[in-house]
Amino acid sequence: MKEYIVIFEWTGNNYSAYVPDLLGCISTGKTLEETEGNIREAIELYIDTLREDGQPIPEPSLQIKAISVLA
């Protein structure tokens, strides 16, 4: 099992999500929950395609931490 960092963004009309460690792995959805399910499926399909093509599966390389500041 691998854990990849997913970036979620509100675009004004819907959410988009992408996985920086998996170039081109993106998805969208009307809600955050829908987008999360869609990106999970996109990650699984991305990895399945790499396996089928005999390509290496990228290791997760990113770490995140929320930093609080006065604004």
Domains annotated for the chain, with CATH where assigned, are 1-71 (3.30.160.250)
Q: Tell me, what's the pLDDT at 57? A: 97
Quick one: 29 exposed, middle or buried, by C-beta within 10 A (0-12, 13-18, 19+)? middle
Whole-model pTM: value is 0.90
Low-confidence ranges of the chain (pLDDT < 70): none
Tell me how far apart the alpha carbons of residues 54 and 40 are, in angstroms, rounded to a whole number.
21
Tell me how far apart the alpha carbons of residues 23 and 47 are, in angstroms, rounded to a whole number.
11
